[in-house]
Structure 1
């Protein structure tokens, strides 16, 4: 007879709603996009604000999101909710292009991702099955790496690091391999950079638990994709594996980003609710969960926390 998996331990919905207050998603894949998306940027803002979240940052693999974010700030922004943007350095913005970075940062972008879908590491992983397919045909990516044949950081990346450091913005490592991340972060710190984010180190990046500990020791935050640790079609890791990731980097250096917006997955806000439930079931306390779903991301990106009098779900306050 087949063994039935036990039902998850029930979690109080009111507590989940309380822990959503002040959460910040630095990895929201809303649309429009050439990739199939479940919601658009305006929907993502409405859902996050209604849940009492502090911020959402739009990420697209094909275009800088600063123009969209700046428009939505005028239409939907307020002092208690930050609409944020970034630049992803894939082929579609010219690759490792300082001009694209300069434009994005001066328009208001707060984060710069190293190559994702155009990263040589990403393309190697997708040699049998294309990763992150588009809804319409697109030209094949040309592999990008931040190091030369001797493993040294290339000059155009150094110019990009100077721009990020000058604007005191966040450097995210995208889909680079762990072997590329070490020289990248070392050079960034040497050039005065402070804000560093490692995207899903356990997926594609091939970072070990020892690597995660060392990266956190360098001052980097480690972002785990919610869609990979909750019960949904994109799940890749168990709760116990997640515990290992958190313990390697510590609660103080762990961030959750939804990495959601795909048609097959729940909405990003629902993903945050579910990862809170996962963390409660793993035994993490309320203060630790608040750090991982909101406070750490706000500290990294340079946002102040919500004022106490406004820290209530907006839907409930209406």
Structure 2
């Protein structure tokens, strides 16, 4: 999957920035895209280790994301054991078939158990399944029971009633709505309906990776009020690297720093840890000409605002 040339280019740029600079900017960072374990897929770190490593780096918060179960109900237990480390811990729900799909009863229960983010379908979305037929985009490395592809629209392109019910619950709890791995056309429909129903926190994850966004889509989505998160794993020294450093700069600039954040999207085996991925992403952004203030916005302030943390 990784491009050797892009990965080497990232390594070279990352090496030009001192660790001390990156470590300073990592303090207070909030990573809203951590794939720790246990999981159906092999993970490099478990949830406890992810928190411990984040605390050692001085990070402020992390969001656990698993495609097939919600970590949200376990956060109170984890907080009892790890709360003294000072890292805010969050869980959310991905609406794949393995978690109930587009089920408003599951969403309601999870939000009442503390879920702060609801991702639309990812690995089991119709777009993901279509985009993965050659294993070049959004491929899964685990073989689960075959799943029908999920879409949020009916045959006329209108948002399903059950999705409207889910959006009402997200609005009620002021949670974050993520576009998941839907197609950009579905996302536009979904976000317009969400905003109409009072959802205030809109998130697009890795828009150029498998979601079929154009640069114009990114710019218009940011202007619409959505938060655009770039996945560090797609740009740094990772086996998931598929974009050049210059493309990272272009992807960020399409939305603008004020509307952008960086999440690690890491935790997989044979990859940097989430903390190391964030450190590399910080270095890469600095090497690409983004200022320290820009980077601080993208790794600290913007994700903190999105999740509802006060800006320190």
In structure 2, C-alpha distance between the alignment counterparts of 1:132 and 1:294, rounded to whole Å: 30
Q: Give the counterpart of 1:224 among 207, 212, 230.
A: 230
* 8 Å CA contact retained: 2:42, 2:268: yes
Unaligned residue ranges in structure 1 (runs of 5+): 307-318
Of the three residues 103, 118, 125, the one matched with 1:97 is 103
1:144 aligned counterpart, secondary structure: coil
2:91 to 85, 96, 100: 85
The CA deviation at 1:78 is 4.4
What is the TM-score with the length of structure 1 in the denominator? 0.92
Match of 1:254 among 246, 255, 260: 260
Looking at structure 2, the residues matched to 240 and 138 of structure 1 have their Cα atoms a distance apart, in angstroms, of 36
SS at match of 1:77: helix
Q: Deviations over 1:161-187 (max 9, x none)?
A: 000001001000000000000110001
Does structure 1 residue 32 correspond to structure 2 residue 44? no
| Aligned match of 2:302 | 296
Q: Which of 210, 218, 224 is equivalent to 1:212?
A: 218
Q: Is the 8 A contact 1:171 1:196 kept in 2?
A: yes
For these two proteins, the number of residue pairs brought into alignment is 302
The aligned runs of 1:1-318 (5 Å cut-off) are 7-8=12-13, 10-78=16-84, 80-129=86-135, 131-134=139-142, 137-306=143-312
Q: Secondary structure at the match of 1:222?
A: strand
Give the distance between the partners of 2:198 and 2:272, measured in 1 at CA.
Answer: 39
Q: Provide the aligned C-alpha RMSD in A.
A: 1.7
Task: Report the counterpart of residue 312 of structure 1 in structure 2.
Answer: none
SS of alignment partner, residue 287 of structure 1? helix
Deviation at 1:258, TM superposition (A): 0.7
3-state SS in 1 of match to 2:37: coil
SS state of the match for residue 299, structure 2? helix
- The Cα of 1:125 is off from its aligned counterpart by 1.0
Q: Residue 73 of structure 1: CA displacement?
A: 1.1
Q: CA deviation at 1:100?
A: 1.2
Of 137-146 and 249-258, deviating more is: 137-146
Contact 1:223 1:257 survives alignment (8 Å): yes
Q: Secondary structure at the match of 2:33?
A: strand
In the TM superposition, what is the alpha-carbon distance from 1:69 to its structure 2 partner?
2.0
Paired with 1:203 and 1:11, the residues of 2 have a C-alpha distance of 27
Deviations 1:101-159 (A, max 9, x none): 1111111111000000110000001123381222xx42012110000111100000000
Distance in structure 2 (CA, Å) of the matches to 1:78 and 1:255: 27
Q: Does the 8 A contact of 1:69 with 1:83 survive in 2? A: yes
TM-score, structure 2 as length reference: 0.93
| Partners of 2:55 and 2:85 within 8 A in 1 | no
Which runs of 5 or more structure 2 residues have no equivalent in the other structure?
none
Measure the CA separation in 1 of the matches of 2:246 and 2:177: 29
- For the residue of structure 1 that corresponds to 2:146, the secondary structure is coil
* Alpha-carbon distance between aligned partners in 1 of 2:32 and 2:40, rounded to the nearest angstrom: 20
